[in-house]
Amino acid sequence: MKRREFIGAAAIGALAASAAAQAQPPRRTYKRIATEEGFLIPEVLDENERIMRAGGPQLMTRGAGVMAQNSIDIGAGRIAKMDADGVDMQLLLLSSPGVQVYDRDKAVALAKLANDRVAAAVKAYPTRLAALTTIAPQDPIEAVKELERGVRTLGLNGVLVNSHTNNEYLDLPKFWPIFEAAEALDAPIYIHPRDPAAGMAQIMTGPVLGGPAFAYGVEVAVHALKLIDAGLFDRFPKLKIVIGHMGESIPFWLQRIDNRFLWSTRTAPSKLKRLPSEYFKANFWVTTSGMNYKAPLMMTIEQLGIDRVLYAIDYPFENQGEAVKFAEAMPLTPAQKMKFFQTNAQSLFKIKTI
């Protein structure tokens, strides 16, 4: 080939390459793992129905239409929606309040059944689904056994607790064997919201304060701070706790919590070894579930560091496609996006199959 022909061919090649680049966006270098995605099993919907008929709280039943259908689909239909919306993997959590409103024996049995079902779904789609172990805190000893079975035998990726159980929080010493087992297995515990405990619940109602609008976040923030206040992380310093919704407002409060903690403990020293914010930064990870909101995302990253912030959507309760578009539009570098969407989740939840 003569020199002039060579340059001509190279120029045409470059033009073709640049046209191709304009035709489609650059190839993604990371996978998108969404880490707080809801599922249910039909037996839970049926038990919810029975409890509601007996005058119990409002719960999701088969009558919830598309929401119930999307919740119990942990197979091909869910995968197709993930494909359409650009989600590579969902980490599945039994939707709130899970088994925590049932009597003890029913709760223990349905937790096991939910774990067996979701483990089978993960086995069917190992590169697309991962899941947390549901436990029934109503029986702390059985909860420890199920936690160990879920992580060791079923190969699940951590533990789920839907906040309080019968108005009791996990700061009570009777629940601490659960934390001891989780720390020993290096299994993160995800504290997911539910309707607030008695006392808070009565005043937090309606479309502005109730449920996910505000009450859920307050509920989990209170739970998280009670764990810090109880000295849990002095006893179990390697414990990993995960909370959603940009940290349930705690990143916004850290400076004031420390400031007032120092003031109120100047005359009556605290039993805590460290500042409240130090435990939050050492023992907590935060996901973005249900919060397509730039300012708190950037502040949470600034407060905790990019290694502690994980992507989550809150499917099927939130719009999966919108949540992907929002997160992609955030001013994060390619290296930050790699951590946020993929590698933070992989290392925290020990996801090896994506």
Active-site residues: which are they? 314
Compare residues 216 and 233 and give the one whose CB is closer to Mn ion. Answer: 216
Choose the stretch contacting Mn ion; rule: CB under 5 A; options: 23-31, 173-181, 215-223, 308-316. Answer: 308-316
Q: How far is the CB of 289 from Mn ion (least distance, A)?
A: 5
Compare residues 221 and 230 and give the one whose CB is closer to Mn ion. Answer: 221
DSSP annotation of 308 = G
37: phi then psi, degrees, rounded to nearest 5: -110, 130
DSSP helix/strand/coil, 310: strand
Give the separation between CA 88 and CA 318, rounded to whole angstroms: 17
Compare residues 35 and 344 and give the one whose CB is closer to Mn ion. Answer: 35
What are the tokens at 339? 């951590």
314 part of the interface to Mn ion, by CB under 5 A: yes
Q: How far is the CB of 216 from Mn ion (least distance, A)?
A: 8
Choose the stretch contacting Mn ion; rule: CB under 5 A; options: 31-39, 75-83, 146-154, 262-270. Answer: 31-39
What are the tokens at 146? 């199920």
E-state strands within the chain = 33-39, 89-94, 129-131, 133-134, 159-161, 189-191, 241-243, 284-287, 309-310
Q: What angle do CA 40, 42, 182 make, to 5 degrees?
A: 40
Compare residues 195 and 314 and give the one whose CB is closer to Mn ion. Answer: 314
Compare residues 181 and 243 and give the one whose CB is closer to Mn ion. Answer: 243
Give the separation between CA 324 and CA 314, rounded to whole angstroms: 11
Q: How far is the CB of 33 from Mn ion (least distance, A)?
A: 15
Report the half-sphere exposure of 36 (CA within 13 A, side-chain side): 30
How many residues bind Mn ion (CB under 5 A)? The answer is 2
Amino acid identity, position 297:
L
309, β-bridge pairs: 286
Report the half-sphere exposure of 89 (CA within 13 A, side-chain side): 26
Q: How far is the CB of 184 from Mn ion (least distance, A)?
A: 27
Say if CB 201 and CB 214 are below 8 A apart: no
Choose the stretch contacting Mn ion; rule: CB under 5 A; options: 137-145, 177-185, 258-266, 314-322. Answer: 314-322
Give the separation between CA 145 and CA 259, rounded to whole angstroms: 40
Q: How far is the CB of 235 from Mn ion (least distance, A)?
A: 28
Contact mark string toward Mn ion, 264..303, x via CB under 5 A:
----------------------------------------
Q: How far is the CB of 331 from Mn ion (least distance, A)?
A: 26
37 part of the interface to Mn ion, by CB under 5 A: no
Compare residues 36 and 142 and give the one whose CB is closer to Mn ion. Answer: 36
Q: Terminus-to-terminus CA distance in the chain, angstroms? A: 46
Choose the stretch contacting Mn ion; rule: CB under 5 A; options: 98-106, 130-138, 139-147, 309-317. Answer: 309-317
Say if CB 302 and CB 324 are below 8 A apart: no
Give the position of tokens 């993160």. 188
Residues of this chain that bind Mn ion (CB under 5 A) = 36, 314
